[in-house]
Structures are given as C-alpha cells and as structure tokens.
Structure 1
Amino acid sequence: MIPRRVVARSLQPSSKFLLRIRSATLETSLTSCITELISLYSPCLRQHRSISTETSPGSSNPAAPKGPLIVDFDEQVKLAASEPSRSSIIPQTRPQASGRPLTKLEEYQRLKASKHASDLIGGVLEDHYKPHELITNPPSPRDITLELLLASGAHLGHATALWNPGNQRFIFGIRQGIHLISLDVIAAHLRRAAKVVHGVSKNGGIIIFVGTRDGQERAVVEAAKRAKGYHVTERWVPGTITNKDQLLSEQKVRILNYLDQEIRLTEQEKLELKQKLAGENGDIHRIQVEDTAQVPFGYGAIRPDLVVCLNPLENKTMLQECAQYRIPTIGIIDTDVDPTCVTYPIPANDDSLRCVQLIVGVLGRAGQEGRLARYEEETNRAEELKRRQKRLEETERTLEEATTTNQVYKDAEQAASESRQRELERESLISNR
C-alpha cells in the first residue's frame, strides 16, 4: 500500500507566536490571527517536503522518534542513483540550468527517477500460493499445519440442514448457516490416515486411489505414481472386488520382489516350467514361457490392501464391496456424509478442489515415504545377508584351512613315527647280527 503524503513541515510553532496568541485580547479579530499565522509559516511552506502520515512500522529502536516519517524525494533519488547494482535502471537527468525551464524529456526523466525512488520504499509482496505445487510437490505429513488447512478451505462444511448427526464430534461451530469443521480434528485424522498409508506401502501392500469427480484426475494419478499404487478416475465398475475372477480373468498377475521389480526366471526354471506345462508326451519346444515369473492362471485376481476414496457419496458400491471383504478404506468425510462408511475418515471439505489436492497429495507423499523406507530396509537386509554369507564363507575357509593344517601335521607326525619305527627295526636287526 502506498502511504498517503501531504505537504507540510514537521516543526513546532514558535514561542513568539504562542505568546502573541496568549496575550491577545478578546477584541482581536480572527482575520488578524490568520494573517499572522500565514506570515510566520510562509517560509516553511516554501520548502516542499513529502512526509508520510504513517510511522515507520519496522523501527525496533525505542529511542527513535514517534513522529511522522519524513521522506525527501531528492535525497532518495540521489541514493538510488548512487547504488552500483541498480544505477542502470534509473534514467540519468541533466542538471537544470539556472533560470531555464525543464524540457518535456527532462520532466519525464525526473518523473521516472522519482517513481523509481518511491518504489524502493516499503515491502515487496511475493506470491505465496502456487496451485500446481499441491500436485507436483505436495507437503509431507509432518508439514501439515492448521494454516495450510485453513488456506485450502478444508474447514468449510455444508448447510446445517444437510448435516449428518454422526459428524457432530468433528464440527467446531456454525457461521452464517454453515457448519465449520475443527482444524485440529482435520489435522489429527489426516496424520492418522497418512500413517496407515505409510504402513501399508512399507509392507508392500496394494493401494488404490479413487477419485471420480471433475478436476481430481491429475492429483489422483500423481498420488498413485508416488505410492506405486493404482488409480480409478472414471467410474468404479460394480463387482471389481466381489466378482473379480470374472471381470479380471484376462489380466496377468506378475510376481514382484520387495523392490517392486519383476522376478526373472533362469534358464533351468524356464525349462522345468515348460516340462511341467507340456506333460509327459508333449513337445516342450512348442511352449513359450515369458522371462518373468507369473502366478498360475487359476490363481485369480488379487484384491487391494487399502482403498483411498476422495468422494464417498458417489462410490457407495465400492465402499460396500470393501466392507464385505474387510478391506480398510480411507475417505474424505464432509458434514453431509456418514462417517461410518469408511474405516479411517478424514473430516474435510470434499467440494474444494484445493483441499482434495492437498489431502491426496499428503497421502501420496506418505505412500512414497513408506515405499522408500521399504527399499532401504530391503537394501540393508540384502547387505546384511551378504555380510553374513561372507562371514560364513570366511569361517568355513578358516575351518578348512585349520583342518588341512591339522591333517598335514598328523601326516607329518605319522610319517616321522613310521620312519622312527623303521630305524628302530633296522637297529634291532643290526644288533641281532
């Protein structure tokens, strides 16, 4: 905000003028007082200075004067022109000759210099909200703050006439006929849900992100990519869980390791698999086997370990299927939604796209952190196995060397005893002769 400026001078009235006012009689006319006032302050009014009616907000010195902040534009122009880093931006003005009026160019340059000097006064506002960052770089669960939830509009519920009584423990109050959700409750439930996603991803579980409303597709896809899970953005097909063997019968199921890598078959394993598929009298050369390990055809489709639903009202069939097979679910519960339809409710505004992007971004980041923790543990476990194998090999080699050395010693002792025995026999034969 540009401060208001007035033309005045920060000077106190002279004592001479005060004495005149005090000693003036009642018969002194108002016109004479105004005339004396103008005559006293006319030299001051000739010196035009721009001062601000607001005090300096950043002054932390208690000894600093509390009067108005005086700003001299001529001095500001000189200081700005003397800066080496910004001297090229300020237009250079030619000094005015005595008695010569300024030209149009000089007036324009002086105006630009004054504007540049005034722009240096005050703070600079920066952009705080960048919409794309909630998708490309979502916050971590540990970075959840009440200010972030408040800015995303997560606390705004529906009208009081549409509320579900099961959400009474989540509601903070009512304002203008709208229920307000407590920000503390939102943060606590969101951290709990993020911890659940982190644990499932860390143990190698399958997570499905479901968001079928307009505008949720990009955020859902990015969250699924981070957690190495799956996503549904168009429509949940009824029977995907309850009738999976019929709907997903043509889908292949592959075997992955703890690093989410497909397990490759060796040549010996491929040959054994061909012989098993061909039978006793079949030709194994006509059977094609892929390089990656696969689950047998009759195994069936695999059910997910966790489902994250962003709009439970439109996906009641999915939630019922998950409840039938005891699959845990996480959902955004607004004030008009039954909180018992999901396992881990997150009370928030499901109509705000910014709020939905924030929540699904946090859950996707939690899944990513859990996956990276699993990778780290698996790497450490593999390194520990290598170290144990190396120690075992060293121990076996040491035992083998020790056994070999003992055997050499025994052989040497036996050879020495045999030679000694032959010498004794030879000596006994010689003595008998």
Structure 2
Amino acid sequence: MIPRRVVARSSQSSKLISRYTLCLRQHRSISTEISPGSSNPATPKGPLIVDFEEQVKLAASESPRPSIIPQAQTQTQTPGRPLTKLEEYQRLKAAKHASDQIGGILEDHYKPHELITNPPSPRDITLELLLASGAHLGHATALWNPGNQRFIFGIRQGIHLISLDVIAAHLRRAAKVVHGVSKNGGIIIFVGTRDGQERAVVEAAKRTKGYHVTERWVPGTITNKDQLLGDQKLRVLNHLDQEIRLTEQQKLQLKKKLAATGKKDIDKLQVEDTVQLPFGYGAVRPDLVVCLNPLENKTMLQECAQYRIPTIGIIDTDVDPTCVTYPIPANDDSLRSVQLIVGVLGKAGQEGRLARYEAEADRAEELERRQKRLEESKRIQEEATTTAQAHKDAEQAASESRQRELERESLISYR
C-alpha cells in the first residue's frame, strides 16, 4: 500500500559482470554463426561471433576465478562430447543465479485488492497510507461548507486540502466506536450506494457479522419498520452469532400463539426452525449505521437522528459535518480512499466481534469452573455429612450396648 518504487541492489558491478561473462563463456548454447554473405570470417557484418572452443581455451589459460556452480555439481567436460540434460540445467541455473543479482528489486507497492481482502487495522493507520489513498483531497473552494473549516489544511490549485492528522484522529475514533458496538453484540449497517462501493461494503459487513445496503435506502425502513419489514423472519442469535433453533415444544407453543391471533386450524400452520414472531415484536432497529455517501442518503440520516441511532459518515468539504454523529473528514469520491476507510472500520468490527467471542469463552470457562467447585464442595459436604452420621450411629450403638450391660449387671446384683 505504498507507492511503487525501484531500489537498486547494492553490489559491486564489476564482479557481477565478470561472473556473468564467465557463465556466458561456459554455456554451449551461444550462437557461432556468422552473418550470411560475409566473405571474411574475421570481420563479421552480423551479430557478434563467439567461438566456443576458443573461449574455453582462453578461460583455461586465465587465472582461476571463483565458480558460481557448486563444486559438487561440476564435472569435467570432454572436448567434443555434448552436454547432458543435467549439465545443461546446472549451467542454466548458474547463469540465472548470476543474472538475478544484476538490476533492481521491487519493494512494497500498491495492490488494489488488499484494501478489500486484507484491510489494515486501526492501529496501522499512518499519514503516508492516507496520503497515498488520496483521502486529503477535497472539493473546489467554491463548493465548500463553512462547517468544515476546522478540518481544512490549505488550498492548492483551487481545491481544499484536508489535514491528514485530523483524518487519522477521526478515523481512529470511529474505529473505536465500531469496535465497542460489535464487542457488545450490536447491529451495524453499512450503507454505500455509489458505483464501485458494493464489494467493499459487503466485505466490511461480513467481517462485523452485520448488514449492508448497496442499492437504495427505502424511505421508512426505520420510521415505518413494522409495515416494511413486518413480514420478514426474525432471527434469534446467541452471543456467538449462532442462530438458535426451536424445539418441538417451542414450535407447539408458537402455533398456539399464532392460532390465537385468528387462525384456528393449528395443524395447517407452518412454523420454521428459526424464530418467526410477527406478534408483538416487529422489526429490529440497528445500533449503528455507517454511511459512505451522506449526500445521497439524507433521508436515512434523518430517520437515524429521529430515533437517536448513532451514525458514522465520510464528510467531504462540500458536506455538512453535523448530519452524522461521528464524522470522518476525507475524500468521498476516491474509490481507494473509501475502500481504505470502510476496510479499517470493518477490521475494527471484526476485532470487536472476536473479543466478544473470547470474553464469552472465558465466561463459559469461569461458569464451568464455578460449577465444578460447587459440585466438589457439595460432594465434600455430603461426605462430611455421611461421616458424621456414621459417627453418630456408632456412638448411639455404643451407648445402647453400655445401657444393656448396665441393665444386665443390675439384674445380676439384684438376684
């Protein structure tokens, strides 16, 4: 996620060139043909002519140089004998090893898919990352909203520039809010209705086990929820986001409740395994709404404000920052900027959900330990009660035996 750049490898160029030249001399696949139509072989008109046998003799007469091929793989070459497949592979591998050290290498560069498949976590937010995504670019100065004055850093070529420090601070705050709502098991809805935002919105909703809206926000989804969503099935989940299934007894009770509403024939009622309660409960409102384009979803923001549902939104320089609860001043037109912000929020929600799972597992372990301690104390108490009862019975038997002996002695003395 950093701009692409090429960094040269630090090595001695002369040594590398000499090694590469030696490998070329040792390779048999170098062409030895001369250009067609040449009368004098000593002065070729075509490409460079290399006599392999002469180069081998020249290399043998020179001083020995460090070989690139491992000593265990080198074999003596008989003049006139063709190379085997293994020798050709070894020499090709040596030439590749020498040529790999010439040139440059690519460091970390921008990969568009990683903002969706592997977004950065809130603690990995840097100013360089925001700058590379273009989150600081605002709208033209003629379109600005005066409420965004505290977010603006300056003006360049007729557009406002948003401060990167402000973007990072507000993004971290919004990530903490998403983390807290997800950790407490709240319902989060991601709303992004512009072109190109669908995949990022869906992936963020999957990470938080929440919901998403990518087409159009239907007016009245929150204010008139019972009329729009009353026929939908109500799912009941546990603390681990697992759907709770109904037992046969619960199904029978549900059929009786449905029959009490007006349907008298209980046997014809179809009840699914999941909870379906059209009576008394109605649709559920979300606990947090994340909006990526507030300008196109003003109706949704008004409905959330009417029922005091907190909202998070990307606020550009032409948007009123008071329309959402937690604004994130950034560029809402850049797809890379939007993917970065929604990816960070989705990763924060995922971390909160996993923290809830860990807390639930710890709570279950603590309950299990308490149950074991309770059973152990109960067992010890029962053992103590049994021992006390045995002692009591033994003492009673001993007292009875002594009483009988005294009666016998008294009877004997009376006689």
TM-score, length basis structure 2:
0.78
Tell me the alpha carbon deviations over residues 315-366 of structure 1, each in whole angstroms, 9 at most, x when there is no partner: 0000000000000000000000000000000000000000000000000000
Matched with 2:181 is: 200
Quick one: which of 102, 109, 113 aligns to 1:132? 113
Distance 1:389 1:332, change over 3 A: same
Distance 1:270 1:419, change over 3 A: farther
Specify the code of the residue in structure 2 equivalent to 1:403. Answer: T
Tell me the alpha carbon deviations over residues 243-293 of structure 1, each in whole angstroms, 9 at most, x when there is no partner: 0010001011122111011223444544555566667xx886665544444
SS in 2 for 1:298: coil
Say whether the 8 Å CA contact 1:91–1:109 is kept in structure 2. Answer: no
Specify the code of the residue in structure 1 equivalent to 2:116. Answer: I
Which protein shows a greater Rg? 1
Provide the alpha-carbon RMSD of the alignment: 3.2
Quick one: which of 361, 381, 388 aligns to 1:406? 388
Specify the code of the residue in structure 2 equivalent to 1:331. Answer: G
Quick one: which of 357, 360, 367 aligns to 2:349? 367
Tell me if 1:78 matches 2:18: yes
Higher mean alpha-carbon deviation, 266-275 vs 135-144, is at 266-275
Specify the code of the residue in structure 2 equivalent to 1:218. Answer: R
Say whether the 8 Å CA contact 1:255–1:295 is kept in structure 2. Answer: no
Matched with 1:379 is: 361
Q: How many Å separate the matches in 2 of 1:430 and 1:288?
A: 89
Q: How does 1:10-409 map to 2 (within 5 A)?
A: 72=14, 76-80=16-20, 93=30, 100=42, 107=49, 120-126=101-107, 128-273=109-254, 288-295=270-277, 297-409=279-391
Say whether the 8 Å CA contact 1:210–1:233 is kept in structure 2. Answer: yes
TM-score, length basis structure 1:
0.75
Distance 1:250 1:274, change over 3 A: closer
User: What displacement does 1:107 show?
Assistant: 4.3
Q: How many Å separate the matches in 1 of 2:26 and 2:237?
A: 61
Matched with 2:58 is: none
Say whether the 8 Å CA contact 2:16–2:102 is kept in structure 1. Answer: no
Q: How many Å separate the matches in 1 of 2:26 and 2:126?
A: 41
Specify the code of the residue in structure 1 equivalent to 2:241. Answer: D
SS in 2 for 1:337: coil
Structure 2 gap segments, 5+ residues each? 1-7, 34-40, 53-93
Say whether the 8 Å CA contact 1:77–1:114 is kept in structure 2. Answer: no
User: What displacement does 1:419 show?
Assistant: 1.2
Tell me the alpha carbon deviations over residues 347-398 of structure 1, each in whole angstroms, 9 at most, x when there is no partner: 0000000000000000000000000000000011011001101100111111
Distance 1:429 1:290, change over 3 A: farther
User: What displacement does 1:420 show?
Assistant: 1.2
Identity over aligned pairs, percent: 80
SS in 2 for 1:331: strand
Distance 1:429 1:268, change over 3 A: farther
Say whether the 8 Å CA contact 1:274–1:289 is kept in structure 2. Answer: yes
Which one has more relative contact order, counting CA pairs under 8 Å at least 6 apart?
A: 2
Distance 1:422 1:272, change over 3 A: farther
Higher mean alpha-carbon deviation, 292-301 vs 176-185, is at 292-301
Say whether the 8 Å CA contact 1:195–1:366 is kept in structure 2. Answer: yes
Say whether the 8 Å CA contact 1:173–1:180 is kept in structure 2. Answer: yes
Say whether the 8 Å CA contact 1:264–1:291 is kept in structure 2. Answer: yes
Distance 1:117 1:409, change over 3 A: closer
Q: How many Å separate the matches in 1 of 2:199 and 2:27?
A: 46
